[in-house]
Amino acid sequence: MKTLILLVFLVLGAAANAKDIEYLVKLEGQKADEALLSLRQMGMTKTFSTSFGEFAVLKTKRNLEAADFNYLTSMTGISYVEKNIELRALPINRESKELNAEDASFKKQWGLKNTGWNGGPIWRLGKKGEDINAEKAWTLSRGRSTIKIAVIDTGVDYDHPDLKNNILMNEAEFNGTDGVDDDGNGYVDDVFGYDFANNDADPMDGHGHGTHCAGVIGATHNRSGVRGVMGRVKVLPIKFLGDNGSGTLAGAVKAIDYAIKMKVHVMSNSWGGGGANKALLEAIQAADRAGIVFVAAAGNSTNNNDKSPSYPASYEVDNIISVGSMDGNGKKSWFSNYGKKSVHIFAPGSDILSTVKNGKYKKMSGTSMATPFVSGAIGLLLTHEKNMTPKEIRERIMATAVMNKTLVKYAGSGRLDAYRLLKDLRN
């Protein structure tokens, strides 16, 4: 046994100048300590524990081959080994200028109320009424500050004037002692969430994407700037994507575990990348067992997800709601992924005006933007009806969708309608 371990150690340690490649190792059972001893010799850097098990991060100088995987997974105490893949935020690159609060207004938010005039670029009008029917839904509920929605992303500008009242504050840490984990959740000083990209307690957005998603869910309903789908909500900023919009599988797993710990109702996930991963699947399954909906962007590569899955949206877990993007004409956005079986619903995602970092506003496009519309609508639903399982919520979202003729070809239902969702008006 000892010679074998040494052999793998030597092989993994070869090619000294190459950039490190990371792997995520899932440990199992009482024998994990034995495995850790060997892993440490091979280049293991750190371990972390979640409610769904223990993980280690292994650094190597070259890609592991099938034989390496076989060897590692045959070791007692190791359940599986996966590449610590890169995951990315899902906006499409289209430059749009930053606005101040006085230039950002509800009148420009076609996703909430499409007047036709505001539903398209200057040279092409949108179609009146192709929106999520927000104003009518607000006659029933504008949200409630007991509803907690995690924005798992590039962080959130929690000081943004249009967001700061709707950010979840961890009272125990706010009133606690610096450097001490006052609420005993395993994280020191997590007053406004956590940053798993830099492993600190400051999830400030260095990119803008996460703040945009947060604004779609919960920008304050006042006379200034924009409105969220919810006027009252508590958004929990959980950062694992860095300032360049990318992060790792390990970061995503930690972010989801943290959201479970913080007992959120919904996780909003406008990111993706790579193939299927057991670690991510297990994290989402743990969220499902905790009764938490996992809303996920379907992706922006004009791809049929039924044929070629896009993760995490395409995992088959009951709590996942995969969201495609529509434009102001009620058509599938040109970039949006689709799939009758694997995309559950469409929501506005083209030229969406919302909050960005440094207290500004901006239009962005992507299934990234469509996703928080669904997260916010679920938030409204949960102020109205308690004790729904994630599976029941997904079923209701689809059953109450507007079966817009062009969209039904591309998804299991049609367009999100918040009013019909709350009223349970079915097709």
- Site for Ca ion, rule CB under 5 A: 162, 173, 176, 180-183, 185, 187, 189-190, 219-220, 222, 225
Residue 261, number of CB atoms within 10 A of its CB: 17
Q: Taking the complex as a whole, how short is the minimal distance between the CB of residue 169 and Ca ion, in angstroms?
A: 12
209 labelled catalytic: yes
Integer Cα distance of 382 and 404 in angstroms:
25
| Segment (H or E) for 322 | strand 320-326
Annotated active-site residue 183? The verdict is no
Please state, in angstroms and rounded to a whole number, the distance separating the CA atoms of residues 352 and 350: 6
User: Which amino acid is it at 391?
Assistant: K
- Give me the least distance between CB of 215 and Ca ion, in Å please: 9
Supply the minimum distance, in Å, between the C-beta of residue 103 and Ca ion. 13
370, 371, 372, 378 alpha-carbon torsion, rounded to 10°: 110
* Least gap, CB of 52 to Ca ion (angstroms): 20
204 by DSSP, 3-state: which?
coil
Task: Determine the straight-line distance between the first and last CA of the chain, rounded to whole angstroms.
Answer: 63
For Ca ion, the closer CB: 157 or 189: 189
Q: Which of 368, 375, 413, 417 is catalytic?
A: 368
Active site residue 368: yes
**Distance in Å, CB of 3 to Ca ion, minimum:** 45
Nearer to Ca ion, 55 or 187 (CB): 187
Q: How far is CA 188 from CA 45, 180, 191, 201, in A?
A: 21, 5, 9, 7
Q: What is the dihedral of CA 278, 283, 284, 290, to 10 degrees?
A: 140
Written as six digits, the tokens of 402 are 């507007």
Q: How many residues can be counted in the chain?
A: 427
The beta-strand segments (E) located in 182-265 are: 194-195, 232-239, 246-248
Q: Residue 220 phi/psi, 5° resolution? A: -60, 140
Given the residues 68, 79, 141, 153, select the one marked as catalytic.
Answer: 153
Q: Which is nearer to Ca ion, 225 or 330 (CB)?
A: 225
Q: Which is nearer to Ca ion, 82 or 189 (CB)?
A: 189
Instruction: Give whichever of 63 and 358 is closer to Ca ion, judged by the CB atom.
Output: 358
Rounded Cα distance, 158 and 355, in Å: 11
Provide, rounded to whole angstroms, the least separation between the CB of residue 256 and Ca ion. Answer: 17
Smaller CB distance to Ca ion: residue 69 or 106? 106
- The answer to whether 374 and 397 are in contact (CB under 8 A) is yes
Task: Please identify, using beta-carbon distances, which residue of 6 and 180 lies nearer to Ca ion.
Answer: 180
Q: Of residues 79, 141, 182, 209, which has the active-site annotation?
A: 209
Tokens of 379: 């938030």
Task: Tell which residue, 54, 56, 55, 74, has the closest CA to residue 8.
Answer: 74
422 contact partners, CB below 8 Å, separation of at least 6: 137, 140, 141, 380, 381, 384
Least distance to Ca ion, CB of residue 353, Å: 11
> Exposed, middle or buried, 136 (CB in 10 Å: 0-12/13-18/19+)?
middle
Question: Which residues carry out catalysis?
Answer: 153, 209, 368
